[in-house]
Structure 1
Amino acid sequence: MVIFTHRIITSLSIITLVLTITGCSHEQSPKQDTNTMTTFDLVDFFSGTTIGSGFVQDRSGEIIRTFEVVTTGDFNNDSGTLKEVFTWNDGEIENRTWTLSRTGETEWSGSAPDVVGTALGKIKDDKLRWSYTLTLKVGGKNVNLKFDDQMWISRTGVMVNHAKFSKFGLHLGDVVVSFRK
């Protein structure tokens, strides 16, 4: 009887865990009035210099680091480079240079030295959504984190970037940045 009860509890625990994980993965997108949307134009927004401020938060929502970022974009229609210089609140300076290419009417691909493989981006209305794996140094070790990176541009020209990062499918935290020209 004890073994039977233990098996039932174990089975129910596994089912609950699976349902919880799959339930959390369903993502809802906000409904928007299509008459007020701006079309996201990557080349237009990132050509020249943009500045941004942001933070990294852990999975509980606690802000663990803040930063300022300056980007410099140099584009020739369907391709170009985007240089990012991050200045972190602890004084660390981080540089990343993206090489970006339009691969379709609404699709982009990107690469950078610390990106595993190719970043894939898709524009829909006023949003650009990237998917990529980034290698970061954590405690002296390289760790690959999966990023679901969404950018939204407002009619006023402010761009908000919200990137969720995960490892083995588990959400670890978020990066939120606000950019302006």
Structure 2
Amino acid sequence: MSFFLAFVLGALAVLALAILRGRMLAFPAQKAGDYAAKTPEFDIRRHINGPILCEGVIYGPTGRVASRFVADFEARWEGNAGTMTEEFRYDSGATQSRRWAFTLGNDGHIRAQAPDVVGYGEGWQRGSAVHLRYRIRLPEDAGGHVLDVIDWMYLMENGTIMNRSQFRKFGIPVGELVATMRPKGAA
């Protein structure tokens, strides 16, 4: 075997292991069932309902804080159908609005839509966690790119929701969001 062929095969093996690690051991490897037995029980109709204050940071591809934000959410449910409006205020002075429409299946399956979401978002609520995957189109002033998003929300004992989201382009992580969500007026 030539040195070049051995080098290429070695490089392919390292790449395959990196991809496998990313799918099986990293953030995207979580499954809703991992949290099925965890408490408190997260019911989006109850815990993502009414006026909500959200505060968070967005990390860029280098791991540095790229942006900070505060947002006001308003969520309403009628049975298993819900809507949520989001009004973001970024540290740059920019603002952004989004309106989600949710459908919750009796089995915990979630389907989500928003104007900047390509197609539908899909996910699950299980135990103490909610998981959503979707593709989002960034505003034109942010490049108009379409990113794959993985959202994980975890319900804390005091009712606060911890949100961690990862953004990917061509399977490569390009950003991450960490935020808290809690009913307005809660300490």
* TM-score normalised by structure 2 residue count: 0.87
The match for 1:26 is: 24
Structure 2 unaligned segments of length 5 or more: list them. Answer: none
CA distance in 2, matches of 1:153, 1:180: 10
| C-alpha contact 1:136 1:144 (8 A) present in aligned 2 | yes
The match for 2:13 is: 15
Distance 1:138 1:11, change over 3 A: farther
Moved more, 18-27 or 81-90: 18-27
Quote the sequence identity (%): 22
* TM-score normalised by structure 1 residue count: 0.90
Q: Normalized per residue, which structure has more strand? A: 1
CA distance in 2, matches of 1:91, 1:136: 17
In the comparison of the two structures, how many residue pairs are matched? 178
Moved more, 118-127 or 98-107: 98-107
Letter of the 2:172 counterpart: L
1:160 to 159, 162, 167: 162
Alpha-carbon deviation of 1:151?
A: 0.4
Structure 1 unaligned segments of length 5 or more: list them. Answer: none
CA distance in 2, matches of 1:40, 1:91: 33
| C-alpha contact 1:46 1:71 (8 A) present in aligned 2 | no
Alpha-carbon deviation of 1:52?
A: 1.1
Provide the secondary structure at the position in 1 that maps to 2:85: strand
Give CA-to-partner distance per residue, 1:95-142, whole Å, 9 cap, x none: 000011113331111100000111112011010000100000365532
**Pairing 1:18-167 to 2, within 5 Å after superposition:** 18-27=16-25, 34=37, 37-137=39-139, 141-167=143-169
CA distance in 2, matches of 1:137, 1:58: 16
Q: Please, what is the CA RMSD of the aligned residues?
A: 2.2
Alpha-carbon deviation of 1:150?
A: 0.4
Distance 1:140 1:161, change over 3 A: closer
Letter of the 1:12 counterpart: G
CA distance in 1, matches of 2:162, 2:83: 20
CA distance in 2, matches of 1:140, 1:160: 26
Structure 1 stretches of at least 4 aligned residues deviating more than 6 Å after TM superposition: none
Alpha-carbon deviation of 1:148?
A: 0.8
CA distance in 1, matches of 2:154, 2:134: 18
Give CA-to-partner distance per residue, 1:3-62, whole Å, 9 cap, x none: x21222122112211212212221365987x5x711111111222100011011123321
CA distance in 2, matches of 1:130, 1:29: 11
Letter of the 2:77 counterpart: F
